[in-house]
Amino acid sequence: GAVVSQHPSRVICKSGTSVKIECRSLDFQATTMFWYRQFPKQSLMLMATSNEGSKATYEQGVEKDKFLINHASLTLSTLTVTSAHPEDSSFYICSAHRTGIWGTQYFGPGTRLLVL
């Protein structure tokens, strides 16, 4: 089956620093990727839709200047959490839509971010 990877799997950083998370589709091309955030004991919340070659589309309430998304190729999207604060600590998950299989997305294993 299709594989999506994320790197790093876990990161601890100091408050005020920026953290970049990579999402790669390993065996298929993805024109669209999605970024989710999940707090403990809660469901996944969609943050933004990442479109290859164009600007990301952010969900209401998500600060685009704080969560920078770049989708420079058909297999890579990155999420940069800028000036991270403790409230940004969360589980960040990406997914990739595989063209031709409507509605089916393949999810990465997630990145756990802890901001001290």
Partner 1 sequence: DAKTTQPNSMESNEEEPVHLPCNHSTISGTDYIHWYRQLPSQGPEYVIHGLTSNVNNRMASLAIAEDRKSSTLILHRATLRDAAVYYCIPPPGTQGGSEKLVFGKGTKLTVNP
Residue nearer to partner 1 on the CB measure, 57 or 82: 57
**Would you give the distance in Å from CA 67 to the centre of its chain?**
9
The nearest distance, CB 96 to partner 1, in angstroms, is 11
Q: Which of residues 2-21 bind partner 1 (CB under 8 A)?
A: 4, 6
Q: Which residue among 14, 43, 65, 87 contacts partner 1 (CB under 8 A)?
A: 43
24 binds partner 1 (CB under 8 A): no
Q: Least separation, in Å, of the C-beta of 56 and partner 1?
A: 10
Q: Of how many residues is the chain composed? A: 116
